[in-house]
Amino acid sequence: MAKSNDQKVLSTLWSAGCGSHGGCGCEIFVKNGKVTKVEGDCNHPWNQGRLCAKGLAIREYIYHPDRVLYPLKRVGKRGEGKWERITWDEAYDTIEKKLKDIREKHGAESVIFCQGTGRDIGGPITFLMYAYGSPNWVQVGLAGHACYTPRLGAMFATHGNYTVADCSQFLEKRYNSKEWTPPKYIIIWAQNPAAGCHDGFYGHWIIDCMKRGSKLITIDPRSTWFSTRSEVHLQNRPGTDGAIALGMLNVIINEGIYDKKFVEKWCYGFSELKKRVQEYSPEKVEKISGVPANLLRKAARLYAKNKPSAIQWGEPVDAMPAGSVVAQAITQLWSITGNIDVPGGNVIAKNSHGVTTYPFSSAELTDLYGADLVKRLNEKRIGANDYPMIKNFRGWVQPDVLIKQMETGKPYPVKAAWIQTSNILGGQAADPKRHYEAMKKLDFIVAVDLFQNPTTMALADIFLPAATIAEKESFRTWWQPLGVSVKAIKGLGAVKSDWEINLEMAKRLSTTPIKYKNVREVIDERLSAGKTNFEKLKAKGCWEFPPKNDPSRPYYRYERGLLRKDGKPGFDTPTGKVELYATKYKEWGLDPLPYYEEPKESPVATKNLAKEYPLILTTGRRSPVFFHSEHRMIPWLRELDPVPVAEINDEVAESLGIKNGDWVYVENTHGKIKMKAKASPICPPEVVSVPHGWWLPETDGTAPNLFSTWDHNVNNLTSMGNQGKSGFGGTNYRSGLCRVYKVEGGKE
Ligand X SMILES: Nc1nc2c(c(=O)[nH]1)N[C@H]1C(S)=C(S)[C@@H](COP(=O)(O)OP(=O)(O)OC[C@H]3O[C@@H](n4cnc5c(=O)[nH]c(N)nc54)[C@H](O)[C@@H]3O)O[C@H]1N2
- What's the rounded Cα separation, in Å, for the pair 543 and 355? 13
Closest to ligand X by CB, 613 or 733:
733
Closest to ligand X by CB, 12 or 689:
689
One residue of 120, 341, 544, 601 binding ligand X per CB under 6 A: 120
Closest to ligand X by CB, 28 or 373:
28
Residue 238 contacts which entry, ligand X, Mo ion, none (Cβ below 5-8 A, type-dependent): ligand X
- What's the rounded Cα separation, in Å, for the pair 485 and 476? 8
By CB under 6 A, what part of segment 316-335 binds ligand X?
Answer: 316
Give 417's strand partners: 112, 445
Kindly state whether residue 436 participates in binding ligand X, applying the rule CB under 6 A. Answer: no
Give 404's strand partners: none
List Cα–Cα distances, 188 to 206, 212, 220, 449, 729, in angstroms: 9, 17, 8, 34, 20
Kindly state whether residue 733 participates in binding ligand X, applying the rule CB under 6 A. Answer: yes
Torsion, Cα of 266, 268, 271, 273 (10° steps): -110
Residue 195 contacts which entry, ligand X, Mo ion, none (Cβ below 5-8 A, type-dependent): ligand X
One residue of 415, 692, 712, 725 binding ligand X per CB under 6 A: 692
- Write the DSSP string, 611-654: HHS-EEEEE-PPPTT--TTTTTT-HHHHHHS-S-EEEEEHHHHH
Closest to ligand X by CB, 228 or 518:
228
Minimum distance, C-beta of residue 569 to ligand X, in the bound complex (Å) = 34
Report angle CA 707, 422, 599 to the nearest 5 degrees.
Answer: 90
Residue 449 contacts which entry, Mo ion, ligand X, none (Cβ below 5-8 A, type-dependent): ligand X
One residue of 12, 47, 117, 163 binding ligand X per CB under 6 A: 117
- What's the rounded Cα separation, in Å, for the pair 733 and 427? 11
- What's the rounded Cα separation, in Å, for the pair 272 and 575? 15
Cis before 359 (ω within 30)? yes
Residue 129 contacts which entry, ligand X, Mo ion, none (Cβ below 5-8 A, type-dependent): none
Report angle CA 229, 349, 470 to the nearest 5 degrees.
Answer: 85
In the DSSP assignment, the letter for residue 283 is H
Kindly state whether residue 290 participates in binding ligand X, applying the rule CB under 6 A. Answer: no
CB under 6 A: which stretch of 76-84, 264-272, 560-568, 624-632 binds ligand X? 624-632
Residue 497 contacts which entry, ligand X, Mo ion, none (Cβ below 5-8 A, type-dependent): none
Residue 414 contacts which entry, Mo ion, ligand X, none (Cβ below 5-8 A, type-dependent): none
Question: How big is the site for ligand X, counted in residues (CB under 6 A)?
Answer: 65
Could you list the residues that contact Mo ion (CB under 5 A)?
117, 147
Helices (H), 460-562: 498-509, 519-528, 534-539
Closest to ligand X by CB, 254 or 702:
702
One residue of 197, 246, 325, 645 binding ligand X per CB under 6 A: 197
Minimum distance, C-beta of residue 231 to Mo ion, in the bound complex (Å) = 29
Minimum distance, C-beta of residue 447 to ligand X, in the bound complex (Å) = 8
Kindly state whether residue 116 participates in binding ligand X, applying the rule CB under 6 A. Answer: yes
Minimum distance, C-beta of residue 262 to ligand X, in the bound complex (Å) = 26
CB under 6 A: which stretch of 270-278, 438-446, 557-565, 728-736 binds ligand X? 728-736
Residue 571 contacts which entry, Mo ion, ligand X, none (Cβ below 5-8 A, type-dependent): none
User: Closest by alpha carbon to 448, among 471, 485, 418?
Assistant: 418
Distance of CA 741 to the CA centre of its chain: 32
- What's the rounded Cα separation, in Å, for the pair 199 and 152? 11
Kindly state whether residue 308 participates in binding ligand X, applying the rule CB under 6 A. Answer: no
Minimum distance, C-beta of residue 234 to ligand X, in the bound complex (Å) = 8
Minimum distance, C-beta of residue 689 to Mo ion, in the bound complex (Å) = 17
Helices (H) and strands (E) in the chain, counts: 27, 27
Give the residue nearest to Mo ion (CB): 147
Closest to ligand X by CB, 388 or 693:
693
Site string for ligand X, 566-605 (x = CB under 6 A): ----------------------------------------
- What's the rounded Cα separation, in Å, for the pair 584 and 604? 32
Closest to Mo ion by CB, 117 or 474:
117
Minimum distance, C-beta of residue 260 to ligand X, in the bound complex (Å) = 29
- Write the DSSP string, 311-377: EEE-THHHHSTTHHHHHHHHHHHHHHTT-BSSTTSEEEE--GGG---SSPPHHHHHHHH-HHHHHHH
User: Closest by alpha carbon to 326, among 158, 161, 193, 198?
Assistant: 158
Distance of CA 676 to the CA centre of its chain: 26
Kindly state whether residue 621 participates in binding ligand X, applying the rule CB under 6 A. Answer: yes
Minimum distance, C-beta of residue 147 to Mo ion, in the bound complex (Å) = 3
Do the Cβ atoms of 526 and 500 come closer than 8 Å? no
The dihedral through the CA atoms of 277, 282, 283, 287 has a sign that is positive
List Cα–Cα distances, 432 to 98, 138, 290, in angstroms: 26, 15, 32
Helix (H, G, I), strand (E, B) or coil at 246: helix
Site string for ligand X, 449-488 (x = CB under 6 A): xxx-x------------x----------------------
User: Closest by alpha carbon to 62, among 348, 435, 471?
Assistant: 471
Site string for ligand X, 154-193 (x = CB under 6 A): -----------------------------------xxxx-
Closest to ligand X by CB, 442 or 578:
442
Site string for ligand X, 672-691 (x = CB under 6 A): -----------------x--
Kindly state whether residue 47 participates in binding ligand X, applying the rule CB under 6 A. Answer: no
By CB under 6 A, what part of segment 74-113 binds ligand X?
Answer: none
One residue of 67, 222, 350, 672 binding ligand X per CB under 6 A: 222
Cis before 513 (ω within 30)? no
Report helix angle 371-380 to 362-369, nearest 10. Answer: 120
Kindly state whether residue 133 participates in binding ligand X, applying the rule CB under 6 A. Answer: no
Closest to Mo ion by CB, 148 or 270:
148
Kindly state whether residue 620 participates in binding ligand X, applying the rule CB under 6 A. Answer: yes
- What's the rounded Cα separation, in Å, for the pair 377 and 398? 14
Closest to ligand X by CB, 116 or 183:
116
| Binding stretches for ligand X (CB under 6 A) | 15-16, 19, 21, 116-117, 119-120, 142, 147, 189-192, 195-198, 219-222, 224, 236, 238-239, 241, 314-316, 420-423, 426-428, 448-451, 453, 466, 498, 618-624, 626-630, 689, 692-693, 714-715, 718, 733-735
